[in-house]
Amino acid sequence: MLILEAEDLAKRFGNVQAVDGISLRVGQGEIAGLLGPNGAGKSTTLHMLLGLITPDSGTVRMFGLDLARHRTEVLSQVNFSASYLGLPGVLHVREVLDAFARLYGLRRPRERVGEIIDLLEIGPLARRKVIELSSGQHTRVQLAKALINEPRLLILDEPTAALDPDAGDRIRGLLVRVARETGTALLITSHNMREVERMCDRIHFVSAGRIIAQGTATELADDFGVDDLEEVFLKVAREGAVPA
């Protein structure tokens, strides 16, 4: 079952064509990667998928519904996490999660907050104010917020940024488990190529606002004639390479 269908998305800012005809699909329980160098158009694409920016052309459908026509119904089943997003610093972690649970209209918000605190293993942080958290702890709380409504589509921008290797490995394992066990579709951007290789079922590689290649990590390496995904990234970023 398709969870996300983006068709021929385009967006221009002044004289800059930020996104130029991007199409991608993500199925139920699939983990997809959206990769590319800085300025490739990834963030603009994510913002269009989240309804934060209106595309100049193209369509976004989620769960079979057009985002432009069914915005509230669609976005209530979506969530997003990025380490750079702010949370109310004066609130305790549990208060933040409870507020988001209520904003999403969950029927048993306190119960769900308890479940998500256990899932992310952030019990020791629950009574701490957000402003007191380290960057790694903030990342974990952001992920807890993103999972609070049990989204059918979860969009993650650098999901393990600022986490130490142990915490990063635990979070990667958790996200894979969520996708496999609940059918949640994940769309991930990351500059950690090893992370993408380990997690993603399919990767969409973006350069100059267009998807220039897609496939598994192994398929992409073969297409570019290199050994791994990091070498693919370097060839695109430094040489503007395209698949052979």
What CATH number does the domain containing 170 carry?
A: 3.40.50.300
| One domain for residues 173 and 217 | yes
| One domain for residues 108 and 208 | no
Residue 51 has pLDDT above 90, yes or no: yes
| One domain for residues 34 and 97 | no
Residue 242 has pLDDT above 90, yes or no: no
Maximum alpha-carbon separation in the chain: 54
Assign 243 a pLDDT band (cuts: 50, 70, 90): confident
| One domain for residues 114 and 175 | no
Residue 84 has pLDDT above 90, yes or no: no
Range of the domain at 102: 86-150
Number of domains in the chain: 2
- 124: amino acid identity, one letter: P
| One domain for residues 156 and 73 | yes
pTM for this model (two decimals): 0.94
**Mean pLDDT, rounded, for 47-53:** 96
Residue at 103 is within a domain: yes
The domain boundary, picked from 107, 131, 150, lies at: 150
CA 58 vs CA 8, 27, 68, 85: distances in Å? 5, 19, 11, 27
Residue 44 has pLDDT above 80, yes or no: yes
Residue at 244 is within a domain: no
d(Cα 30, Cα 155) in Å, to the nearest integer? 12
Q: What is the pLDDT of residue 7?
A: 98
Residue 148 has pLDDT above 80, yes or no: yes
**Mean pLDDT, rounded, for 11-18:** 97
**Mean pLDDT, rounded, for 183-210:** 96
| One domain for residues 194 and 213 | yes
| One domain for residues 204 and 94 | no
Contact 226, 232 (CB under 8 A): yes
**How much of the chain exceeds pLDDT 70, in percent?**
100
- 3 state DSSP class of 28: coil
